[in-house]
Amino acid sequence: MKKQTVSSRSPIPSNKSKRQQPERIQKLLAQAGVGSRRQVEKWIADGSIDVNGAQAKLGDKITTRDIVKLRGRPVKLAGKLQVDTQVLIYHKPAGEIVSKRDPEGRPSVFKRLPRLKTGRWIAVGRLDLNTQGLLMFTNDGDLANKLMHPSQQVDREYAVRVMGVVTSEMVERLVKGVELEDGKARFEDVHESGGAGINRWFHVVVAEGRNRVVRRLWESQNCKVSRLIRVRYGTVFLPPGLPTGHHQFLDKKEVQALKSLTGGD
């Protein structure tokens, strides 16, 4: 398991210095909260971004002095980069989707979030429709990308209620790794946390954000997940007193701990 430490440094360096050194376009737009790096790369690929009147290409580098347009609308990078990083945690209830638009009209987590004067909220990972628990959002797309990137191996901890007979041999297999349809996956840690009979609670840790990976790992052992709650992401825990459907902001020290976790300033 990757060691998760909380830095004792509390000040957060401000982004108020002007960005004059060229940076890859997806990095600079992500830092400005325009979107995650992955989303910016999609916009570049489909021709939605222009720089100084020419269609942007992956690998292009820009500064805040360049004229950037997203779908024909100017992006004022200098103003967006002057905003300090904000991170909030949201206690997602089951039944909400982590998407801004849904053809089926299901409720979205984004409808519950406070509005930003500048930039947009970017979700740090996702939880499926039936999963409850900790979701993080930030206005810093670069930070979001680092927290989600597989190379960072950031721990995600879940409380999971399992229906089925769970043996020590089964747990050992889950920790060593099992083959799923999209490759090998494993739990970094598994420990029992209550219940009796065929309905027992466990706390499990994964170091990746693959779709439904916790549920699929248990299903590989002929067990069914009847309830799933994310309780930790990296250095951030779901506060016990935070009701479902509510949010709270991280303080400066907590934001700095997240940045330190990914090797950032």
Catalytic residues: 128
Residue 126 and residue 114 in contact, taking contact as beta carbons nearer than 8 Å: no
CA distance 41 to 30: 10
The backbone torsions φ and ψ at residue 57, rounded to the nearest 5 degrees and listed phi first, read -125, 150
* Cβ contacts of 181 within 8 Å, gap of 6 or more: none
* Cβ contacts of 103 within 8 Å, gap of 6 or more: none
CA distances from 232 to 42, 69, 206, 237, 265 (A): 29, 37, 11, 4, 22
Secondary structure (DSSP) of 133-181: EEEEEES-HHHHHHHH-GGG---EEEEEEEES---HHHHHHHHH-EEET
